[in-house]
Amino acid sequence: MRLAASRLDDSGAAEANAKRLLRRRAASVTAAVAPFGIVFGASAGTAGLSLVEAIGFSVFVFGGSSQFAAVEILGDGGSVAAAAVAGLLLNVRSLAFGVLMAPALAGAWWQRAGWSQLMIDEATAVGTSIDTPALRRYGYLAAGGGVFVVWNATTVVGHVLSSEAGSLIEDLGLDAAGPAAFLALLWPRLRRRPQLVVALAGAAIAVGLVPLVAPGIPILASLIAVGVVAVIGDQEGASCATPASGVSCWPPAPTA
Amino acid sequence: MCDARVGSFVLATGTYCLMAAAPLLLGATELPDRLRRFVDAAPAALLAALAAVATFAAGDALVIAARAAGLLAAGIALWRRAPFVLVVVIASAVTALFRALG
């Protein structure tokens, strides 16, 4: 009886620990988004969009790089169709993210419909950094919700600042915050050889394609690397996300 | 600017369809083993591609600029087990430093 109770306490404490860790990761990716929100607001202003139009993009489209692409094309006098197609190509990866997150987003259809609006890079990255479905959803919602709030707030700030924001971000090196955050989320997976191979191949494919194809495609094309590894086979198990393996991609929660 | 409103509406609708397709249609359906392995390894490829493209792409050109130094610094910080927030701060600071030094 006592044993059962203490086990319950242990699992409760472990869950609280995991949630704290997820909140910290969510806070980090959320903070990293702020400079880009400012740049988006600024470029929307420069492209002649009103503040309401800029916020409309950030609330309803809610996909950083696709918003940039669409607004840039509209600002250069491109057609609505060109802007929409470019933006959609950049967001095709959300379809892949949806497949990754779907098992963790179990619930009534209207809940799944609401949660899906947060299907972005950061939310998926934090969500998939943990094993259990309930915690995956927690991380996904924490990061997605945090980014949603900060992205829209900084869109307003950027639109108001409009002219100077771009150079300020470059001066402070904040354009490196995003790549660094993605690398940090990737890092724990790299200790497993198959994942390391997938990551290196994916990065090489994506970078190699940048000069050749439309923006957004290189990110998606990196998935070819996963297919290659799946064909070769994977004795160690490519996954850190298999509950049966009992191994998390992330190191145990740091004490700090 | 009517174009912006039409554009954002089309883009928002299409994007939402992409985002919600799997959670709404697939639900918690168990994936076949092969597809599951693919899905499990996919984040490694996507995260690496996102980091690499955001670092080295400038429009449709490839550049090795201050950001690359920042990413390298982030890698070293991660290797030394620096916490997440510190990694991001270090990457930004090193990038700014390289830019300032030209």
Instruction: Output the pLDDT for position A13.
Output: 87
On whether the CB atoms of residues B77 and B85 are closer than 8 A, the answer is no
pLDDT > 90: what percent of chain B? 35
In a domain, A93, yes or no: yes
Contact: A63, B99; criterion CB under 8 Å: no
Mean pLDDT of A11-33: 90
Mean pLDDT of B24-43: 75
- For CA atoms A212, A217, A220, A224, give the dihedral sign: negative
User: Does the beta carbon of A41 lie under 8 angstroms from any beta carbon of chain B?
Assistant: no
Which DSSP category does B61 fall into?
Answer: E
Band the pLDDT of A193: cuts 50, 70, 90. Answer: confident
In a domain, A242, yes or no: no
In a domain, A48, yes or no: yes
By C-alpha distance, which of A91, A99, A153 is closest to A121?
A91
In a domain, A110, yes or no: yes
**Other C-beta atoms within 10 Å of A140: how many?**
30
**What does the mean pLDDT of chain A come to?**
79
Contact: A173, B74; criterion CB under 8 Å: no
Residues of B in contact with A84 (CB under 8 A): 7, 10-11, 14
Residue ranges of alpha helices (H) inside chain B are: 2-21, 33-56, 66-79, 84-101
Mean pLDDT of B81-91: 86
Instruction: Output the pLDDT for position A232.
Output: 61
Band the pLDDT of A163: cuts 50, 70, 90. Answer: low
In a domain, A231, yes or no: no
Instruction: Output the pLDDT for position B45.
Output: 87
Most B-contacting residue of A21, A59, A186 (CB-CB within 10 A), to test interface: A186
Q: Is it the case that residue A75 has pLDDT exceeding 80? A: no
Band the pLDDT of A230: cuts 50, 70, 90. Answer: low
A2-46 and A177-186 are packed helices; what angle lies between their axes, rounded to 10 degrees?
Answer: 150
* Count of domains observed in chain A: 1
Band the pLDDT of A138: cuts 50, 70, 90. Answer: very high
Contact: B60, A31; criterion CB under 8 Å: no
Nearest residue of B to residue A201, measured between CA atoms? B45
Band the pLDDT of A144: cuts 50, 70, 90. Answer: very high
What is the extent of the structural domain holding A62? Answer: 2-177
Main-chain dihedrals φ then ψ at residue A35, nearest 5 degrees: -60, -35
Distance CA A22, CA A129 (A): 8
| Most confident listed range (A11-25, A42-56, A160-174, A229-243) | A11-25
Which DSSP category does A78 fall into?
Answer: -
In a domain, A236, yes or no: no
Question: Domain segments of chain B: what residues?
Answer: 1-30
Complex ipTM tops 0.85: no
In a domain, A30, yes or no: yes
